[in-house]
Every structure is written in C-alpha cells, then in structure tokens.
Amino acid sequence: MSYCINPTCPNPENVAYSQRCQSCGSQLLLRDRYRVLKPLGQGGFGATFLARDEILPGEPSCVIKQLRPSGTTPHVLQMARELFEREARTLGTIGNHPQLPRLLDYFEEQEQFYLVQEYISGSTLQQEVKLNGTYSEAGVKQFLSEILPLLQYIHEQKVIHRDIKPANLIRRTQDARMVLIDFGAVKNQVSQATTNQSGHTALTAYAIGTPGFAPPEQMAMRPVYASDIYALGVTCVYLLTGKTPKDLDYNPTTGEVMWEHLVQASDHLISVLRKMLEVSVRSRYQTAKEVLRALEIEPYLESLANGLIVKSDTNNKEQTHNRPEDSAVLCSNSSAAATGLGVAQVAAAIRARRAKNADSTRLDVRGKPGVPVSKPTTLANINSNGSQTQKSKVGRRLDTQTLLTAYLKGRRDFALHNLNLLNLQGTDLSGTNFHSAQLQNTNLQGANLQNTDFGRASLTRANLRDANLNKAYFNHADLEGADLRGSDLTNAYLTHANLRGANLCGANLTGAKISDEQLALAKTNWMTIRPNGKRGLL
C-alpha cells in the first residue's frame, strides 16, 4: 500500500507503487525515493509514518516525521522551520549512539518539513505495560540502570529531551535494548531561540513536552537537565502502577503528584523516586549520574539500619525492634558517611520500615497466613570504605511446598529466607523478591525467574540451567560455581555479582549489565551470547 501524507487528503490509502494519490493527486514518492506505507502516530505539531527507501538495495524501512505548521503565514513557517532545523541539528549532534535512532535525511517540500530516521522495530513501554502488566521493583531498577547512562550522554551533549514518557521509549526487538525516540521537543542549550515582538519565544507554541510528564519549570518554558529527571520519575511511577499522570491525584497545596500509596516497593526506591519527582528544581536530582549514585547505595541501607537496632529481649527468646521513642538508637557518624546517608535520613528510613513491617504477617510452616513472626535480622558492619562485612545472618527456613503455596496465594517477598537445597525445578517464581536469601545448591532448572530480585542473595552452586532470568537483578549476588548453561539472562543486572566458576556456556547475555572482568572469571563457550548480542568466546 502507498499512503498519502497530504493532511487534507480525504482518502490517503492507495494501491502499492502508485505514483500519485487517487484522491487528491499528491505525489506519493517523496524526494523520488521514500514511499510512505502507513501512519505510526500523530502529535501536536506533526505526524510520523512508516516508509520504505526504494533507492537503497533491499528497500529498507525507515520512519518519516512530517512537521505540520499550524498555518502558512511567513511568521508561522519561520517558526516551523526553526523547530525543524533544531531537531535535525540535535539529532546530528548526539551522533550514532546505539540507543538513539540515526538521522538518515531531512528536507523541505512544498512548505512541509520532513525528517527521515532509522526505523526501530519493537514495543513501546506503554504497549508493554498494557500487554504484560506493571513492572516489578527489580524491573524498574533494570530500566533505570539502562536509561540513566543514556540520559547522562544526552545531557553531556548539552541537549534536553523534554518529552521522556513511555510512548517514546521502545524496547528494540533485535537486541531488547531500550531506545529513546522523538526529539521533536528538544531544547539545545547552546543555541537560544529568537524572540518575537510580543516578547514570547518564537517556539512557544511548540515543544513544551507532555503535560503530567513535564515538570512546572518546563511548562513555564524554562527547562533544565533536571526536567528530564522528573519525566523519567513519572515514567517509573507509570511502570509500577500502570497509571498515567491524568489518572493520578495532585496535592493542591504543593502541586506534588500523589503516587506513593499506589506503589509496592522498598523504602529506598520510593525515596529515590520521591527526589526525582520533587516539584522544586533545587530539591530534585540535578544529573542522571546523581540518580545512579543514589541507587548504588541501596545494598548498604539494610545493613546500616540493622546495625542500629537495639535488642530488647535479654533472654534471647526472640529478637525484636525497639521504638526510637523507647530506646536510644546509636549511630557513628563514620558509618553514616560511608553510605552517603545522614543520621536523620537513616532514622527516617528505619521508622518507615518498622511502620511497614508492623502491619505485615508471615506464613506459618503450613503456609497459613496471619501468624506474626519476627523479621530475620542481619547483623553487619560497614567498613570505613563503604564495603559491607557480614558477621551473621539469621534466616527463616522454608520447604519447597510452603514456598510454592505462599507464592500461589500472592506472596512475592522471601527476602532473607533460607531456601538452600530446595527443588524448584520448572516452577514459576517471576517477580519475586529473594534479596539476601540463601539459595545454595537450590535446583531452579528451567524455572521462570523473570524480573526477580536476587540482590545480595547466595546462589553458590545453584542449578539455574535453562532458567528464564530475563531482567533479573543480581547486584552483589554470589553465583560462584552456579550452573547457568542455556539460561536467558537478557537485560539482567549482574553488576558486582560474583561469577567465579559460574557456567555460562550457551547462556544469552544480550543487554546484560556485566563487566569483562566478571566474565573472565566464568566459564563460557562459542555458544555464549555476549552482551552486545554476538556469539563467541568472551
């Protein structure tokens, strides 16, 4: 099919390889090479189409973006031309980054402006959530670990995207990597827009972003790099809740989005998102690197909090947590500094955890709910350099049947539990929290563990052969001697994981966060798919 992109055409669909539109007579082959096949989307100032380049061998697909001015007066056309040239210049500036579509061509025809870009095949985050449901906490962490370095790169090129949202983030089918599209709302910090006689920016009618995702300063036409951080935070709330900004309530006094009551996530992730979504620019994270740094301190938060706990039962019958108002909580300044947290922040985090755990119940050994059990406690020290040295760990033991019964009843949190030697072969445990759990010699062969959190878990000599570990979170996990042959580790987060002696023969590591040093300690072969999507020895 050939598609006519004349905005006023009453019937734009035409038979394949037509030269002119049967309804309005417009030329169908743009610049004598690009044949439009179908529309992809339409915004406030333009439309995008899937097209085919009939000049190149194989007639590869491409995306054509048509900028549609709101009028034909010289002033309006000049504004449109400025916007068009700015987007083309920006796409040329940011270069050939693997997570950005390449600019292939740009031109003007009959007072219409066109950008030709690389076609990215895949689903948007918006489509993913509608099809598969909301993301787990581990999934959001993985998403942030993939998109924040890209955002940092864009900002280093002195470019503000200004329209980050789920519909503009595509998971590429080819390698499952996240790609950021639509730079039509960009602001280039180097070049300033001209001012017209009314005193308003020439591009005021365009490029302010999407309401709800754009923060107040951006809607007031004063965007900064932190404006993209805010939009990314709103995107994370959407991934966790499935709700768009128009579905959320706002505090009428502060203008803040009211989202925390809808999210089930750790206190630490909520605190990071809260700072990303600060209405005040000064209170918000200023750079993508700051957000990454904040996410990296998470492994130390639980240990630091437990290090502040005072035991109230001198008979050692059961370990309980004293309330701050009942007992003094002591903390050395050096420990707080080692994690990048102040004493007040740590105390607030501990109080939040206690409030959350006070209402929770655990399953008894038969899998029945409603029996309150004290939370297993980790006793640890934080060294002056910020590393964690564990002294002892007390975890509650679960058998296979109890774990599976609990999962079927909707429970997803098994952090700190002792699950050594369990036979969980072929089970579905996707989206589960196994943070700091003991899974030594556990049989998870062929199990579905997608979006599962194994942060700081012990998986030494575990059988994970042929397991689905897509987007799994292994930050600081111990996988020494684990069998991962044939496992799907696409987009898994393996930063700081111990892979000494782990068998990765035939594993798929496409898009995984893993270093060459880690891979050098593991067993690989020619069937192992590297993070770049290519097979071969690592």
SS (H, E, C) 152-217: HHHHHCCEECCCCCHHHEEEECCCCCEEECCCCCCEECCCCCCECCCCCECCCCCCCCCECCECHH
466 is annotated as an active-site residue? no
Number of Cβ atoms within 10 Å of the Cβ of 446: 17
Catalytic residue among 53, 163, 267, 483: 163
| Burial category of 489 from C-beta neighbours within 10 Å (exposed 0-12, middle 13-18, buried 19 and up) | buried
Radius of gyration of the chain (CA): 27
Tell me which residue has tokens 């939040």: 352
∠ CA 418-491-48, rounded to 5°: 145
Q: Any idea of the CA torsion for 88, 93, 98, 102, to the nearest 10 degrees? A: 20
Asked if 165 and 205 count as a contact pair (C-beta separation under 8 A), the reply is: no
Measured CA to CA, the distance from residue 447 to residue 461 in angstroms comes to 16
Look up residue 280 and give its DSSP letter.
S
Helix (H, G, I), strand (E, B) or coil at 512: coil
477 token code pair: 């996990």
332 token code pair: 């050395």
| Burial category of 329 from C-beta neighbours within 10 Å (exposed 0-12, middle 13-18, buried 19 and up) | middle
354 token code pair: 């206690």
Residue 75, amino acid: H
Measured CA to CA, the distance from residue 147 to residue 536 in angstroms comes to 27
Strand order in the sheet with 178-180: 122-124, 169-172, 178-180
Q: What is the DSSP string of 56-108?
A: STT--EEEEEEE--S--SHHHHHHHHHHHHHHHHHHHHS---TTSPPEEEEEE
Measured CA to CA, the distance from residue 208 to residue 186 in angstroms comes to 9
Q: Give the H/E segment covering residue 378.
A: strand 378-382
Measured CA to CA, the distance from residue 218 to residue 215 in angstroms comes to 5
Look up residue 365 and give its DSSP letter.
T
Catalytic residue list:
163
